[in-house]
Amino acid sequence: MSRIGKEPIRIPAGVEVTVSDKNVVTVKGPKGSLVQTLDPAIKVIKEEGKLNFSRPTDLKHHRSMHGLYRALVANMVEGVTKGFTKEQELVGVGYRATAKGQQLQLSLGFSHNVVIDLPKVISVSAVQEKGKNPVIKLESIDKQLLGAVAAKIRGLRKPEPYKGKGVRFVGENIRRKAGKAAGK
């Protein structure tokens, strides 16, 4: 049995979870609502403020879907109650970020500025303090979408191993290399 899949999800007060006949789970809470379609083999049982997930067999496909969909629905419940945040910092001379509505404008050392249009579910803010690296703060109720957008931003200029320049998550460790001067 999947360790993640067999654990029930507690539904907090103020959160409404509905499961339709076609295995579509809708979670509504104080911050918004999210919808997820589940694999037809996975069954969701709602009872007394808890959600339980079950699978028909121990086939590898069913085992993997069991834990996956339980984790996705748990993230939906947490998202509509607390929300998720990701912070990224821009390390490099002249690297800047400005946020205007649903647009994020980045200056990452290219000959042009990079403009990213963000989905409406994600709110963005850019903080630039003197003497510190600029920080981009992304907030959303959808953990999957937030992670995908953060990975897209990081992919524009990944941190390089010699000087550490690039877009990185706050607190991320970059493995540094010595460079050619260390060989002498």
The per-residue pLDDT string of the chain (184 residues; one tens digit each, 9 = 90 and over) reads 468 888 999 999 999 999 998 889 999 999 999 999 999 999 999 988 899 999 999 899 998 899 999 999 999 999 999 999 999 999 999 999 999 999 999 999 999 999 999 999 999 999 999 989 999 999 999 999 999 999 999 999 999 999 989 999 999 999 999 888 766 6
Residues of CATH 3.90.930.12 domain(s) within the chain?
A: 9-81, 84-169
Q: CATH number for the 9-81 domain, one of 3.30.930.10, 3.90.930.12, 3.40.50.720, 3.90.1150.10?
A: 3.90.930.12
Residues written for the chain: 184
Task: Give the pair of three-digit tokens for residue 7.
Answer: 């654990």
What is the SS3 assignment for 72?
helix
Nearest CA-CA partner of 99 in 150, 70, 138: 138
Task: Give the pair of three-digit tokens for residue 129.
Answer: 């303090």
pTM above 0.95, yes or no: no
- Please identify which residue in the block is written with the tokens 């996956």: 68
Q: What pLDDT does residue 126 have?
A: 95
Q: CATH topology for 84-169?
A: Outer Surface Protein A; domain 3 (3.90.930)
b vs e for 118-147, b when ≥16 Cβ sit within 10 Å of the residue's Cβ?
beebbebebeeeeeebbbbebbbbbbebbe
Q: What pLDDT does residue 1 have?
A: 47
